[in-house]
Amino acid sequence: MAGPPVALPPVLLVVVVVVVLVSGVEALSNGLALTPPMGWLHWERFLCHTDCGDEPLACVSEQLFMQMADIMASEGWKDAGYQYICIDDCWMAPTRDEDGRLRADPVRFPSGIRRLANYVHSKGLKLGIYEDVGNHTCAGYPGSFGAYELDAQTFADWGVDLLKFDGCYCDSLEHLAEGYRNMSLALNGTGRSIVYSCEWPLYLRPFQQPNYTEIRQYCNHWRNFGDIFDSWDSIKSILDWTASNQDSLVSAAGPGGWNDPDMLVIGNFGLSWDQQVTQMALWAIMAAPLFMSNDLRQISPQAKALLQNREVIAINQDPLGKQGYRLSKEDNFDLWERPLSNLTWAVAMVNRQEIGGPQRYSLPLSVLGNGLACDPACLITRLLPTRAELGLFSWVDILSQRVNPTGTVLLRLEAPAQSRRALSGGRLPRPIL
Ligand code: GLA
């Protein structure tokens, strides 16, 4: 299957070649999403509220996105890496205009999307929008079926930087696949850099195993599993599903293309503090796109600090771009690890027991990274739930940590400085036996 045509300046071409060599699987060649995209997306928190008379602060309107853009730029979110302000479903007028073009609801978006994009850009941020491959969006607004080029051009003319492309109301699997491919080609054809977020595998899965080699050629990230809810049950189901399917998912991810386990719901109503820590830690381990769906106008300082934790974000954004995986599941503990660049590893211990108090987990360091993560020694820093430098460990050591019920301890294991120097000088560290 041929990918979209490549017309890139030499610098981007070099980047793409490097990316392909590193990941081993060809990615969409638009030069975007070399690390998982980060931003804010309205859906989980604001759904399809269209009555601004009744819900002036929570309806899907240009005011909502402008307010989020103001806060993203002024309260540390942009500096932490959150860049895309994304509109989800329910932004459109119920019908296209007389030329067949999409238009925003004139009451809720009186200035139009182009002006909104200008506003978002003036804050140093980017704008995302939503459409659907079928005849209607999931909430019943006009879909893109049969108008992929026109809609891609409309989005490009408006200055849109990301498209979330849903898969509702598509009448056949052929149309689904063709539609996702055609929209990718149409976006590329506009010449504008537009991140392409797909739900292709999610809509395919009930009928067919997705072909991730192909999906990666067309999409920058893709949803595999149902919609996230603001609940621990939902987080657990996403983690369990991802772990059960990790053999096909992990190798599909890499610079340019990512598995998307859906939005971060930290800062809302349904998760305890420990469960919010678990979501942040595991979304970092899974190399997930980080799109918050919360109300940045009213968020606790604790949730804000968690979402803006630079060291955890650095794990999520690690340039090696390898997705982590569940290493073991025993005695009510799930153990996850993720290889990072520079001989570093991230490790998450999740306490799945929902009765009692904190439980002690004893981790033989020799099990990590196929025996290599702490070989012959490593410096361990605990990043979550609280930061602590735990010190230098040898690969025969056992690390013991207390983990709250439904909470997670997130660790970073680094090779000591001399091992890294040896590696960069071409010599591998000698194991101490
Ligand atoms: C689907 C998607 C959600 C959201 C809604 C909007 O359910 O999976 O993420 O976009 O549609 O209607």
Given a cut of 90, whether residue 32 has pLDDT beyond it is yes
Question: Is 216 in the same domain as 98?
Answer: yes
In a domain? residue 430: no
Q: Measured between alpha carbons, how far is 135 from 147 in angstroms, rounded to an integer?
A: 10
Q: Ligand 1 in contact with 229 (CB < 6 A)?
A: no
Q: Kindly state the tokens that stand for 140.
A: 């019943």
| Residue at a domain's end among 273, 293, 316 | 316
Question: Is 275 in the same domain as 414?
Answer: no
Given a cut of 50, whether residue 5 has pLDDT beyond it is no
Question: Is 304 in the same domain as 377?
Answer: no
Question: Is 310 in the same domain as 348?
Answer: no
Q: How confident is residue 29, by pLDDT bands cut at 50, 70 and 90?
A: confident
Examine the residue annotation and report whether 227 is marked as an active-site residue of this protein. Answer: yes
> Which residue has tokens 């987990």?
361
Q: Which candidate in 88, 105, 132, 166 is catalytic?
A: 166
State pLDDT tens for residues 371-418. 999 999 999 999 999 999 999 999 999 999 999 999 999 999 999 986
pLDDT at 26: 77
Q: From ligand 1's centre to the CA of 344, what distance in Å?
A: 36
Question: Is 186 in the same domain as 286?
Answer: yes
Q: 339 forms bridges with which residues in the sheet?
A: 345
State pLDDT tens for residues 63-107. 999 999 999 999 999 999 999 999 999 999 999 999 999 999 999
Give the CB-side neighbour count of residue 254, counting CA atoms within 13 A: 21
Is-contact 214 249, C-beta < 8 A? no
CATH number at residue 293: 3.20.20.70
State pLDDT tens for residues 142-186. 999 999 999 999 999 999 999 999 999 999 999 999 999 999 999
Q: Ligand 1 in contact with 161 (CB < 6 A)?
A: no
Question: What SS3 state is found at 58?
Answer: coil
In a domain? residue 429: no
CATH number at residue 400: 2.60.40.1180
Mean pLDDT of 272-284: 99
Mean pLDDT of 108-127: 98
Beta strands in 190-275 (DSSP E): 195-198, 221-223, 258-260
Question: Is 368 in the same domain as 265?
Answer: no
| Residue at a domain's end among 316, 337, 356 | 316
Question: Is 282 in the same domain as 381?
Answer: no
Q: Measured between alpha carbons, how far is 54 from 70 in angstroms, rounded to an integer?
A: 23
Question: Is 226 in the same domain as 98?
Answer: yes
In a domain? residue 66: yes
Question: Is 143 in the same domain as 161?
Answer: yes
Name the residue range of residue 222's domain: 10-316
In a domain? residue 4: no
Question: Is 329 in the same domain as 230?
Answer: no
Q: From ligand 1's centre to the CA of 47, what distance in Å?
A: 9
Measure the CA dihedral 305/310/315/319, to 10°. 140
How many degrees, rounded to 5, is the angle at CA 31 between CA 26 and CA 34? 80
Q: Ligand 1 in contact with 46 (CB < 6 A)?
A: no
pLDDT at 400: 98
